[in-house]
Chain A
Amino acid sequence: MPRILSAKPDSRLIPLPWQTPLAQWPEDHLVALPRGISRHVVRFIKVGNDVYAAKEVIETAAVHEYRMLQDLAREDTPAVEPLAVITDRRSVDGEPLDPVVITRHLDFSLPYRSLFSQGVRPDTVNRLLDAMVVLLARLHLIGFLWLDVSLSNILFRRDAGEFAAYLVDAETAEWHEELSEGQREHDLMIATTNLFGEFSDLEAGQLLDESLDPLVLVDTITSRYRDLWAELTGVEEFAGTELDRIESRVRRLNALGFDVAELDITTSADGSRVRIQPKVVDAGHHTRRLLRLTGLDVEENQARRLLNDLDTFRFRTNQQGVDEALVAHQWLTQSFEPVVTAVPAHLRGKRDAAQIFHEVLDYRWYASQRENRDVPLIDATHGYVRDVLEGLPDEAMNSRPLSEGSRQLANPFDPSQGYLDEDGAMPDDPWELEAEDVPEPTGVLDIAALRRGKG
């Protein structure tokens, strides 16, 4: 009987065909969603009305990944939500099968290969890299050494005009009290090598815009990461007469989306020199503020955009002196909710609510410019639905067929298996043929063989 390790047991998992290797699961349990390439067998599975990601991997890795993802959730770091590990699997013949890690499918998530297969503008690529760099820095701040940073191991979500990055794969990751310079540099080196490989691969598949050079792209990652890290953690020293620089530093960090929970300030004995260094910074500055004011839980840049609109609303309704929470409630019921409810239900799977609101604000700005008048929000919403949203693909559960350019995947459920149009049988491999003769290992040290070999 398979065992299910889970903090939130889901009885619908029990009747699934665990006695079958994941690669051979019947198609009626599977959903073909776009995703990155992987070393292990990964499938999206239908469980009731939910879609989960299932990954078959050896036991130590499975349990380790489950725990890592749980810890990340506790730290409020963007990562997929772990649901269960299925262990003690056996095939019908009694052969042991590797455990399966189950995570929840991240709604509205966009794997990089599906973004690139539709053609990506060069500036979009830079936004994706920015999102990845922010994720990496956030992980490093909390002592999380990833050791397998790559686009395949990240999911992107739209975040107003930017992207938010989520960690998908934590199999190799480690927690440390604090990361050393060498550890962070190593993670960065892995990131650049993996991303260079991934961009080169997209280039080879003619999916990368010709104006983009993989080498330049990965150099960008390094420099942006270092800049961000210096801002988040760097020591700043200045004359005692420039105390406004403390406030400036905090504001810069807020603008980057971080709150300063602890700032170390030391002054020289005579007060002529001041030294500051952020000790604890938390991501989600705007997200937290919006959540506090409105109860809306959205991505960081979406929150920034919504908060800006809230400020504009306050100004327009001439309520500068009124309690912010009261105004926020009015904004929610008079601006945000009417826009969201004006979107026909069958189109709501195309974008999440905050993203729709952001895009309506953009639409209204352009419409107002064009028509030289202040277009009312509800009119802009109808125009946006008609002109934009209707034509967009569904992203809640991104279900376009998996193809890259004109090529068709050999297995619609697994992009790691390449394409249909590729050459036939593989040549013989002398090493594999030799390996076939290896007897089943017993775990016993054959000292006699060792003596013969080394003697």
Chain B
Amino acid sequence: MATVSFKDATRVYPGADHPAVDKLNLEIGDGEFMVLVGPSGCGKSTSLRMLAGLEEVNAGAIWIGDRNVTDLPPKDRDIAMVFQNYALYPHMTVGDNMGFALKMAGVPKTERDQRVMEAAHLLGLESFLSRKPKALSGGQRQRVAMGRAIVRQPQVFLMDEPLSNLDAKLRVSTRTQIAALQTRLGVTTVYVTHDQVEAMTMGDRVAVMKDGVLQQCDSPLTLYDKPENIFVAGFIGSPAMNLISGNVNENGVVVGDWTVPVERSVLAKASGEDTLTIGIRPEDLELADHGIAVDVAVVEELGADAYTYGTLSGLSEDEKLSAPQIVARLRGRTPPERGTTVRFAAGEGHTLHVFSNKTGDRLS
């Protein structure tokens, strides 16, 4: 087991204007489950591949434990990649399907058997070991693939969207199982996904990337409760945080005919800015007599909650098309009807996020 450190690690593709990964600094603790997340092209997969040795590091360094692995070939890094693609061999037992790479590496049979047995125990596959894999389900096949990586006993597991081939329901159960398994194994794991719900439910910490730059790396709850900039605020959370830009006055930020109150000390941090962006999570909005006026376009009931989707009131039909959608999650009460205009305010004790429009950084 080991720590992993990216130290100003940079990858520039030949002929590209911008680095695919720009001076990434990330310290991953021993045994930690780190998830890299971000939109397509953000550099998360490239970062993982730099760690794996599949992408050249043009500047900076990567360390695994006390070894600088920046220039080591992949096979000398003591890592195991878990792929979405894996084949199960029909003539071989499930046990042999898990342990065959050890045989290739020259590990003696007794040790191989022991490691396979341990991995099978962790994966709930013990009773399948002597079976042929023909009747295994998609999830069981995925676990055999995990088993192949586990038996290698690497210092670090690398997983690049390992669940993307599974259907939605199986993904949900498998991600819970992988996270629990990682906790039991205690092996440092770097996991890449584009799915922020997956990132938030699996990671000890989550690193959010955009355009090759690390935006924030924190625990899922800190990312959710205290996003450091507008991008993280909008990316983390589903449905996304409402982000509304408005003019500043001495009491707060003007949204439509309402001034959202913002503390003076926060406004003071952006003394040169005429406009600021406020952010409110859908569940932090409540129906109120005074507040942001919203024309309700869609109401969706999900279990005990109702989601209302709408736009700021008073906009023309054209403006509505490009206006940001305002989403509220209302619990345990009769939701407003579509087509009506309602007012929302941040409920008692709920967080209002304030961001600079100049830098995108958090002010509150």
Q: Given A426-B128, A444-B239, A182 and B87 touching (CB < 8 A)?
A: no
- How far apart are A412's CB and chain B's nearest CB, in angstroms? 14
B3 at the interface (CB under 8 A from A): no
Per a CB cutoff under 8 Å, which of B85, B134, B177 touches A431? B177
Per a CB cutoff under 8 Å, which of B54, B139, B170 touches A186? B54
Q: What 1/0 flags go to A317-329 for Cβ under 8 Å of B?
A: 0000000000000
Assess the A180–B197 pair: CB atoms within 8 A: no
B63 at the interface (CB under 8 A from A): no
CB contact list, A415-431 vs B, under 8 A: 415-419, 422-423, 426-431
CB contact list, B2-24 vs A, under 8 A: 13-15
What residues of chain A lie closer than 8 Å to B201, measured between beta carbons?
A: 445, 450
Residue of A nearest to B165 (CB): A58
Assess the A443–B238 pair: CB atoms within 8 A: yes
Chain B interface residue count, CB cutoff 8 Å, equals 67
Q: Which of A192-200, A237-245, A283-291, A371-379 contacts B (4 or more CB under 8 A)?
A: A192-200
Q: What 1/0 flags go to A296-329 for Cβ under 8 Å of B?
A: 0000000000000000000000000000000000
- How far apart are B297's CB and chain A's nearest CB, in angstroms? 19
What residues of chain B lie closer than 8 Å to A196, measured between beta carbons?
A: 100-101, 103-104
B90 at the interface (CB under 8 A from A): yes
A438 at the interface (CB under 8 A from B): yes
CA distance A189 to B75 in the complex (A): 8
CB contact list, B39-67 vs A, under 8 A: 52-56
Residue of B nearest to A443 (CB): B238
Q: What 1/0 flags go to B155-170 for Cβ under 8 Å of A?
A: 0000000001100111
- How far apart are A146's CB and chain B's nearest CB, in angstroms? 10
- How far apart are B159's CB and chain A's nearest CB, in angstroms? 14
B266 at the interface (CB under 8 A from A): no
CB contact list, B173-205 vs A, under 8 A: 173-174, 176-177, 196-197, 200-201
Total number of residue pairs linking A and B with CB closer than 8 Å? 174
Per a CB cutoff under 8 Å, which of A186, A429, A438 touches B140? A429
Assess the A432–B54 pair: CB atoms within 8 A: no
A28 at the interface (CB under 8 A from B): no
Q: Which of B218-226, B248-256, B333-341, B356-364 contacts A (4 or more CB under 8 A)?
A: B218-226
B290 at the interface (CB under 8 A from A): no
- How far apart are B52's CB and chain A's nearest CB, in angstroms? 7
B137 at the interface (CB under 8 A from A): yes
Residue of B nearest to A454 (CB): B221
What residues of chain A lie closer than 8 Å to B88, measured between beta carbons?
A: 37, 39, 416
Assess the B56–A182 pair: CB atoms within 8 A: yes
Q: Given A431-B139, A431-B143, A182 and B74 touching (CB < 8 A)?
A: yes
Assess the A426–B135 pair: CB atoms within 8 A: yes
Assess the B73–A432 pair: CB atoms within 8 A: no
A215 at the interface (CB under 8 A from B): yes
A27 at the interface (CB under 8 A from B): no
CA distance A440 to B302 in the complex (A): 12
What residues of chain B lie closer than 8 Å to A427, measured between beta carbons?
A: 127-128, 131
Per a CB cutoff under 8 Å, which of A193, A198, A445 touches B200? A445
Most buried by B among A150, A416, A445: A445
Assess the B56–A418 pair: CB atoms within 8 A: no
Assess the B220–A454 pair: CB atoms within 8 A: yes
Assess the A180–B101 pair: CB atoms within 8 A: no
What residues of chain B lie closer than 8 Å to A180, measured between beta carbons?
A: 54-56
Assess the A39–B85 pair: CB atoms within 8 A: yes
Assess the B104–A193 pair: CB atoms within 8 A: yes
Assess the A432–B90 pair: CB atoms within 8 A: no
Assess the A438–B127 pair: CB atoms within 8 A: no
Assess the A37–B87 pair: CB atoms within 8 A: yes
Per a CB cutoff under 8 Å, which of A186, A440, A447 touches B53? A186
CA distance A435 to B124 in the complex (A): 13
CB contact list, B114-154 vs A, under 8 A: 123-125, 127-128, 131-137, 139-141, 143
A204 at the interface (CB under 8 A from B): yes
Per a CB cutoff under 8 Å, which of B73, B96, B200, B283 touches A185? B73
CA distance A61 to B165 in the complex (A): 8
Q: Using a CB–CB distance below 8 Å, which chain A residues touch chain B? A: 37, 39, 57-58, 60-61, 147-148, 150, 152, 171-172, 177-178, 180-183, 185-186, 189, 192-194, 196-198, 200-202, 204-205, 207, 214-215, 218, 410, 415-419, 422-423, 426-432, 434-435, 438, 440-445, 447, 450-451, 454
- With contacts A37-B87, A39-B165, A431-B139 known, what are 5 further pairs, Cβ within 8 A? A185-B75, A196-B103, A200-B96, A204-B91, A441-B168
Q: Using a CB–CB distance below 8 Å, which chain B residues touch chain A? A: 13-15, 52-56, 73-75, 83-92, 96-97, 100-101, 103-104, 123-125, 127-128, 131-137, 139-141, 143, 164-165, 168-174, 176-177, 196-197, 200-201, 219-221, 224, 237-239, 283, 302
A-B contact pairs, 10 of them (CB 8 A): A39-B87, A39-B165, A152-B87, A185-B74, A415-B90, A423-B131, A429-B125, A431-B123, A441-B168, A444-B302
